[in-house]
Amino acid sequence: MQFSWISVAALVICISNISALQCMTCGWSQSIDECDASGHLKECMSNQDSCETTVRRNGNNVLVSKACKDRIACRSNQLQNARYAGMSTQCNSDQHNSVCTCCCNKDMCNIGSLSCVGKNQVAEYAAQDCPVVSTSLPHGKIDCNKDNRSGSVCKYQCTGKDYSLWPKERENNICLGNGSWAHKKPCCARPCPPYYLVDIAMLIHFTGENAEHLLKTTLEDTATFAVIAEDGVKISTLYHNENPVESSLIKFNEYGENATLLLELMLERIKISNKGPVNTGKAMRYALDNMLIPEAGMRDSRVEGGLDIYINTNPDDDVKGPADEARRRGIQVYVFGFEIGDFKFDRKKLLDIAGKEEHIFVFDTDLINLSEQDIEELSGHFCQNPCDHVLHDHE
């Protein structure tokens, strides 16, 4: 007798070492469905080789819990179902109180209703199928172990480069006995940042001895700041002094998704050339008329528009008029200002451009060093609910 107990235990340990049992686990819930919906699949410890479901009923109030359990302990709880209690047994459908326990030993086997006793012990309905899940998950895949049948577990996985599940913790879904899926279907999404969705017109003016250096670092930063893509960021650039310098113009539709090409074009076309006053307002008007338009490759109204002003000196003309017009068109206006050495910006002028403090980013070195708060500000405008990305084929 003793010998056989040892060999059973040894066998069990051997089996469970191969791969841990997976059980649905939940704390006390008010129904089987609520337990399955709010619980999670757990890898059991090596000494836990059963999945246990316990249903306590007190009148019409039901409490359900599910857990990993030692097989012998679970078995002995299950044996109590038939123990004499009151007029019938401990697990019953004819008394005010009832306690039922069921054990099973396969992965995910304790999903759904009690498997070892009649349904009416739980005051339940017949299990229903769930609506068919589409087997396609854009940029990923779905595997369900029982299709759309009650108790089926679907696992979601993202396969596209840079794509991951959103919401993050929704790796699997369960068809509850009441005919509903436990969760809304997740999607495969790319993180934002850096996958912003925005068309940005960049207006640049740098002056002084560090102008060349500032230009170079700004252009390099811009081309690497976000992912340039037809469903990501597109950039159009223009240098200005007294006038918009048209030979420096790069339109949204000139480089496809090729960030290397964009940087090449920027370095080739954008040159420091300063004379006369700095008419940033005039350049902004030019951007509204010639850059932020469909003919220049701006995408449709589902994509946000941005107007970013890169300067290290105070503009000389009226900037408020064109900035307000941009805002009226739904375009977000930002200032990236470099305040190096003794130079100080006229803050009112920056505010005229940006419209609010949160849209003013001022750096005291020649590096664009955005704080977490700045990034949050940008994300608030240019990131979307990733499952709802307007240019993606999410369902």
Ligand X SMILES: *[C@@H]1O[C@H](CO)[C@@H](O)[C@H](O)[C@H]1NC(C)=O
In the complex, which residues of this chain contact ligand X (CB under 6 A)?
31, 33-34, 37, 129-132, 148, 176, 178-180, 258, 260-261, 264, 365, 367, 369, 371
Is beta strand 50-58 parallel, antiparallel or unpaired with respect to 61-69? antiparallel
Minimum distance from CB of 276 to ligand X (Å)? Answer: 33
Sign (positive or negative) of CA dihedral 310, 315, 320, 325? negative
Report the DSSP pairing between strands 331-338 and 61-69. Answer: unpaired
Smallest separation, CB 72 to ligand X (Å): 32
Smallest separation, CB 179 to ligand X (Å): 6
Smallest separation (angstroms) from ligand X to the CB of 263: 9
Q: How far is CA 193 from the centre of its chain?
A: 10
Q: Which of 238, 319, 323, 246 is nearest to 277 (CA)?
A: 319
Q: Which is nearer to ligand X, 116 or 261 (CB)?
A: 261
Neighbours of 149 (CB within 10 A): 14
16 vs 145 by CB, closer to ligand X: 145
Give which of 237, 139, 180, 155 is closest to 36, Cα–Cα. 180
Q: Which is nearer to ligand X, 17 or 373 (CB)?
A: 373
Dist. CA 248–CA 310, nearest whole Å: 15
Question: What is the nearest approach in angstroms of ligand X to the Cβ of residue 258?
Answer: 4
**What is residue 379's DSSP assignment?**
H
Nearer to ligand X, 80 or 180 (CB): 180
Nearer to ligand X, 212 or 264 (CB): 264
Question: Is residue 186 reached through a cis peptide bond, with omega within 30 degrees of 0 on the bond before it?
Answer: no
User: Least Å distance between CB 265 and ligand X?
Assistant: 9
Tell me how far the alpha carbon of residue 336 is from its chain's centroid.
28
Q: Which is nearer to ligand X, 129 or 388 (CB)?
A: 129
CA 347 – CA 166 distance, rounded (Å): 40
